[in-house]
Amino acid sequence: MTSNRTGESTSTSSSTSSSASIGIEDLELAASHHVLDLGRLAEARGVDPAKYTRGIGLDEMGVVAADEDVVTLGASAAARLLERTGTEGLRTVLFATESGVDQSKSGAVIVHGLLGLPSSVRSVELKQACYAGAAAVQTAIGIVARRPQEKVLVIAADVARYGLGTSGEPTQGAGAVALLIAADPALLAIDPVSGVYSADVDDFWRPNDSTTALVNGRLSISAYKNALLGAWDDLQAQGGPGVDELEAVVYHQPFTKMAVKAQRFLDQHTGGRLDPEALEQGAVYDRRLGNTYTASLWAGLAALLDHREGLEGRRIGLFSYGSGSAGEMLTGTVQPGYARPERAAATRAALDARVPVTVEEYEELHERLLGSDEDVETPRVTTAPFRFAGVQEGARKYEATA
């Protein structure tokens, strides 16, 4: 299977019968200011550390500082991305999150202001648990398909929060990925055909009056499996590529062992054997970020592109799952020149630069949530380009750090 720079495939698969090539031009990951070593959490909770590192496949989890949230994470990722790509043609910002900062105003509008984008750019937020990132990418592709000179900035940003001491606790995390969606993309040309799946399930949700997610862990894993296999079957029904046409699949990774389970489910279902090495390559960043909900799949893609050689012209799968539930299996062809050692080095540096917290410090940050009923100034902690400055007259205020 090969594809040229414009995404015209030489394959006979009907999935590639599109004319225009649209997909990911570039991407950038942002990490939180703090990090918690899960070995320390295991010790504090009286759990064998191997349960976290091997059993669920996570080494660390991102922890946001008092002056960080999804807006600052998303804006920081986007600022660094747009420094490379420029803003020419940018007319839409889509912000995907499950942990938004306001019930009405979108994170996209705040990021739009922080980045100093012109008023002639539309800005909106999307929600369907962890799936909203893929929904934003598909929405962006639709916009670019109508007018190929336009570009769309997609931001997937989340802070995953479960209750202290719950079984979900080690699967928290924080991070953001910004993606520029454009015609004739430099990184990944996304195929027009995808497989989709929706079913109303109460496996994981967050009521309006709760700052932490509620979850039925066992049910969430079977709901993920149903969505994966349902989306796969739909992909086949739509004429998408078969399993032997895929070099690798990247998965939504609430914890990286979930991707291992997912690939096993898919192999059993299809009778194929997807490359297990790709699972490790696609898990490098998620093992250190923890669950980043909407950003998790795209952090997995970044890790695969940064750690796997020989992907030029190869087709990969991308499985997005959002509890509640929605799943989508996208496929796309990796473009020549996708390997960017400087981007990989910057991502590693951002993860290494996080300041470790003790379990006590993490617990204090976890419980420190600001209401909107009194004016508060947050302490200056983060060294990222933007910070959450505090609450004034009920409104959250943001500023550049430099």
Q: Which long-range contacts (CB under 8 A, 24 or more apart) does 113-117 make?
A: 113/398, 114/71, 114/75, 114/79, 114/386, 114/398, 114/400, 115/75, 115/78, 115/79, 115/82, 117/87, 117/90, 117/93
Residue whose tokens read 């750090």: 401
HSE (CB half, 13 Å, CA atoms) of 58? 28
Of residues 23, 100, 230, 254, which one binds ligand CAA by CB under 6 A? 254
Binding segment (CB under 6 A) for ligand CAA, from list 9-17, 181-189, 247-255, 311-319: 247-255
Phi, psi torsion values for 4, nearest 5 degrees? -85, -175
Residue 298 tokens read as 């795209």
Q: Of all helices (H) and strands (E), which one includes residue 286?
A: helix 286-289
The CB-of-253 to ligand CAA minimum distance in angstroms stands at 8
Of residues 3, 323, 335, 382, which one binds ligand CAA by CB under 6 A? 323
Q: Does residue 98 have an active-site annotation?
A: yes
The reply to whether 56 sits near ligand CAA by the rule CB under 6 A is yes
Binders of ligand CAA in range 152-211 (CB under 6 A): 167-168, 171, 204
Residues that contact ligand CAA, how many (by CB under 6 A): 24
**What are the start-end ranges of the H helices in 58-179?**
70-85, 107-114, 132-146
Strand-pairing partners, residue 137, are: none
- Distance from first CA to last CA of the chain, Å, rounded? 47
**What size, in residues, is the chain?**
402
Of residues 221, 344, 355, 370, which one binds ligand CAA by CB under 6 A? 221
The CB-of-296 to ligand CAA minimum distance in angstroms stands at 7
The CB-of-307 to ligand CAA minimum distance in angstroms stands at 22
Site string for ligand CAA, 114-153 (x = CB under 6 A): ----------------x-----------------------
- Among candidate residues 33, 34, 112, 252, the one labeled active-site is 252
Q: Does residue 252 have an active-site annotation?
A: yes
Q: Which is nearer to ligand CAA, 21 or 323 (CB)?
A: 323
SS3 annotation, 337-356: CCCCHHHHHHHHHHHHCCEE
Binding segment (CB under 6 A) for ligand CAA, from list 29-37, 54-62, 190-198, 269-277: 54-62
Q: DSSP code of 245?
A: G
Tell me which residues touch ligand CAA (CB under 6 A): 48, 50-51, 54-56, 130, 167-168, 171, 204, 215, 217, 220-221, 224, 252, 254-255, 258, 291, 293, 321, 323
Catalytic residues: 98, 130, 252
